Amino acid sequence: MDKLMRKKVLVVDNNKLIVRLLTAFLQQKGYIVSSVEDGWAALDQLDVFHPDIILVDLIMPQINAEKLCRIIRKIPEHRSIFIIIVSAISAEEKVDFVSFGANACIAKGPGKEMCQHLITILNSYENNDFSLLVRKIFGEENIFARDITKELFATKKHLEITLCNMDEGLVELNSKFHVIFANPISLKLLGRVEENVFSGFFPDFFSGRDRDRIASMLENQDKAIIEIGEDEPILLDNKYLLLKFVPFHDQGSKYSIAMIHDITRRKQAELDLIHHKENLEEMVKDRTVSLEEVNVELEEALCKLKTLSGLLPICASCKKIRDDQGYWNQIELFIRERSFAEFSHSICPGCARKLYPDLDIFEDDNLECQHDKLSNRYILKKY
């Protein structure tokens, strides 16, 4: 009895009648008993109650027995806990309890028979003799399969296959935003192992401002579906995530489904596009500046460049040129205004002979008569 008194048993079942039955029986046998109604609460009790044995219903709200067993077996300090599955569906679905870490299984049935099977299993546990427990479901021979339960399990199996193979992360949260379900891809996206995700506060998987944004959004969410991470991305382990929260109510309790999309490739493509656009704008800006500089140089060159072209009306006698306004201009003035040419007046030998016939010096064709502006006189020079 002293040995038994040292053993602690945690009963996990949302059926209050079963809890009362098992609690009373175990206490009568000298065990210290504590009970909770779901797997999430059971995880909280592990470090508080420190059970040696856990009796757990296979189908429960929050975290079911299969998930609970897998989590417990991955926590080093709790691996030695002796886990007994108490199942009401063993006739409809063969429970492979060993595969997910349980030590024994009892089919739910009449209370007297259940307690007798429990005594057999506990005796094996106390004597460290597990040969009778391996893959045996105690009491299954006295229960019968139910068609409706078979159909429900078939639907459940299809749903689990879908959830486990989808490319989108899916996490179910309870009313306090703690994780009670997570499919495989969500664990990968969150970068965490299963035992570190279940019962965890969902915003805590993120850091800094992202954590605060998600927590605030969940706390203020009503019945509307909300998204976060599109305009201002949620960054986790170098991945851009888009989160979508779908609230719903079941049996008076509030739950949320968090859908996790990995939008890293799309966001990276958008960032690359923005980067290329900025580079292109910078190139266009530089080219524009260069073109403006070239235009300024061209305008300066055009300002300096003056040319004469076309048909010029010139007087056959005085050689004046008529402009566009109909005025007659001295030929040198007309050309000077429309080009960069400058004039220095002189008299050619032929004109000099006409103007100064008395001067025989003009017989020398190497002489040129030039006009001196200062003295307003013509001066003969050799050239």
Instruction: Look at 87-96, 242-251, 311-320 and tell me which has the smallest mean pLDDT.
Output: 87-96
The confidence band for 131, taking pLDDT boundaries of 50, 70 and 90, is: confident
Q: Give the amino acid at 372.
A: D
Residues 100 and 82 sit within 8 Å (Cβ to Cβ): no
Banded pLDDT at 281 (limits 50, 70, 90): confident
Query: What's the pLDDT at 377?
Result: 59
More confident residue, 79 or 156: 79
Tell me what pLDDT residue 107 has: 86
Would you say 197 and 190 are in contact if contact means Cβ atoms under 8 Å apart? yes
Rounded to the nearest 5 degrees, what angle is found at the Cα of 314, between the Cα atoms of 353 and 372?
A: 40
Whether residue 1 is predicted with pLDDT greater than 60 in this model: the reply is no
The pLDDT confidence band at residue 210, using thresholds 50, 70 and 90, is: very high
Asked whether residue 203 carries a pLDDT value surpassing 90, the answer given is yes
pLDDT mean across residues, the chain: 82
pLDDT at residue 27, rounded to an integer? 92
pLDDT recorded at residue 20? 92
Between 357 and 265, whose confidence is greater?
Answer: 265
> For the ranges 6-20, 347-361, 364-378, which has the lowest average pLDDT?
364-378
Virtual CA dihedral for 337, 343, 347, 348, nearest 10 degrees? -100
What pLDDT, on a 0 to 100 scale, did the predictor assign at position 76?
86
Say what the pLDDT of residue 160 is: 73
pLDDT digits (tens, 9 = 90+) for 168-177: 999 999 889 9
Residues 113-139 have a mean pLDDT of: 86
What is the tens place of the pLDDT at every residue in 286-298?
Answer: 888 888 888 888 8
Q: Give the whole-angstrom CA distance, residue 105 versus residue 56.
A: 9
CB count within 10 Å of CB 335 equals 18
User: Residue 16 pLDDT > 50, yes or no?
Assistant: yes
Return the higher-pLDDT residue of 105 and 95: 105
Residue 149 has pLDDT above 60, yes or no: no
User: How confident is the model over 307-328, as a mean pLDDT?
Assistant: 81
Q: Find out whether 380 and 361 touch, Cβ atoms under 8 Å.
A: yes
- Quick one: average pLDDT of 252-274? 89
Closest CA to 95 of 54, 48, 129, 143: 143
Position 173 scores a pLDDT of 92
Integer Cα distance of 123 and 24 in angstroms: 18
pTM of the model: 0.59
- CA torsion, ordered 187, 190, 196, 200, to nearest 10 deg: -110
Cβ atoms of 182 and 197 closer than 8 Å: yes
Tell me what pLDDT residue 146 has. 53
Cβ-contact 172, 179 below 8 angstroms = yes
**What's the pLDDT score for residue 3?**
47
Q: Say if CB 55 and CB 9 are below 8 A apart.
A: yes
Nearest to 263 by CA among 237, 232, 230: 230
Mean pLDDT for 261-287 is 89
Indicate whether 369 pLDDT > 70: no
Q: What distance in Å separates the CA atoms of residue 195 and residue 200, rounded to the nearest whole number? A: 9
pLDDT band at 144, cuts 50/70/90?
low
- Ranked by mean pLDDT, which of 188-202, 293-307, 332-346 comes out on top? 188-202
Position 202 pLDDT exceeds 80? yes
Instruction: Please name the residues in contact with 274: beta carbons below 8 A apart, sequence gap of 6 or more.
Output: none
Statement: residue 4 has pLDDT above 50: no
Q: Is the pLDDT of residue 23 over 90?
A: yes
Q: Which of 192, 191, 190, 172 is nearest to 181 (CA)?
A: 172
| Cβ-contact 360, 380 below 8 angstroms | no
Q: Could you tell me which residue, 321 or 243, shows the higher pLDDT?
A: 243
Mean pLDDT of 75-95: 81
